[in-house]
Structure 1
């Protein structure tokens, strides 16, 4: 009876970076392209800040700072993996802005990258964003390549 008074949860995921979208199937890493970790979208980006794609709680930040997880208010679990094979940098070139357990709003900076270190190491900065529990939701992913702005451009809708 009181359902209409409950605050509606945001069912959108926004770009964690400013740049261009890429279909997950086109990511040059089979783990992501074959959707072994879940479904999602990827981004080519040129900036230095990776942000929260939604309101939620940071569930983990990898020890090597190359990835973080966030759990949305309605239970969607998202993994943002910064670049490909970046685990090999062992944290070099990454700076955590927040920590696991913190509640954040969409667009909140999470990880800052050092572009010079990325260039020196020939890092491919394609950044997949995966819904790891995608089987629990119906998701709609924006199709085609488009320019996106971190924290502003909706790229996935789930219900």
Structure 2
């Protein structure tokens, strides 16, 4: 990363209570094995893009979306162990290659359904390739499209 590397602004993908990724209900995320990030306990079913970027992948089970901006890759993971639902409870509105902004609605998730299956409704945002960069995030109550941090 050079002298002219710009910060990447991050925005809340959902209304809720934000905390560090180390407080995730999933040990893989909490240990930062996938990268650094954050967790939001959602208070809404509407999911928005956490960054300005390009959709790189939508998992077939709709529980995770990959987004890239200026070489930094973000994984938005909707619920914990929700891959097991095979897409049930998820409605995703974007496809690979779509350009998105923090105002772009990515889809909806039936978090009550997820909880009824005994799964965590945590929304996890992970930066999977920070290299020499780091995250600065806020904690507490957040609202979708609110600036919540930076990749520096």
Calculate the TM-score normalised by the size of structure 1: 0.86
Q: Which moved more, 1:49-58 or 1:105-114?
A: 105-114
How many residues align structurally?
148
Contact 1:54–1:107, Cα closer than 8 Å, also in 2 = no
Partner in structure 2 of residue 137 of structure 1: 133
Partner in structure 2 of residue 126 of structure 1: 122
Question: Could you say what secondary structure the match of 2:22 adopts?
Answer: helix
Question: Could you say what secondary structure the match of 1:87 adopts?
Answer: helix
Partner in structure 1 of residue 151 of structure 2: 158
Using the alignment, how far apart are the partners of 2:113 and 2:121 within structure 1? Answer: 12
Query: How big is the shift at 1:9?
Result: 6.3
Structure 1 residues 88 and 149: CA distance shift in structure 2, 3 A: same
Using the alignment, how far apart are the partners of 1:58 and 1:80 within structure 2? Answer: 11
**Which ranges of 4 or more aligned residues in structure 1 deviate by more than 6 Å?**
none
Give the structure with the larger strand fraction.
2
Q: Which runs of 5+ in 1 are unaligned?
A: 1-7
Partner in structure 1 of residue 23 of structure 2: 26
Query: How big is the shift at 1:10?
Result: 6.4
Contact 1:65–1:95, Cα closer than 8 Å, also in 2 = yes
Work out which of the two has the higher radius of gyration on C-alpha atoms and give 1 or 2. Answer: 1
Structure 2 residue 51 is matched with structure 1 residue 54? yes
Contact 2:48–2:144, Cα closer than 8 Å, also in 1 = yes
Query: How big is the shift at 1:156?
Result: 2.2
Contact 2:79–2:114, Cα closer than 8 Å, also in 1 = no
CA RMSD after TM alignment: 1.7
Question: Could you say what secondary structure the match of 2:28 adopts?
Answer: helix
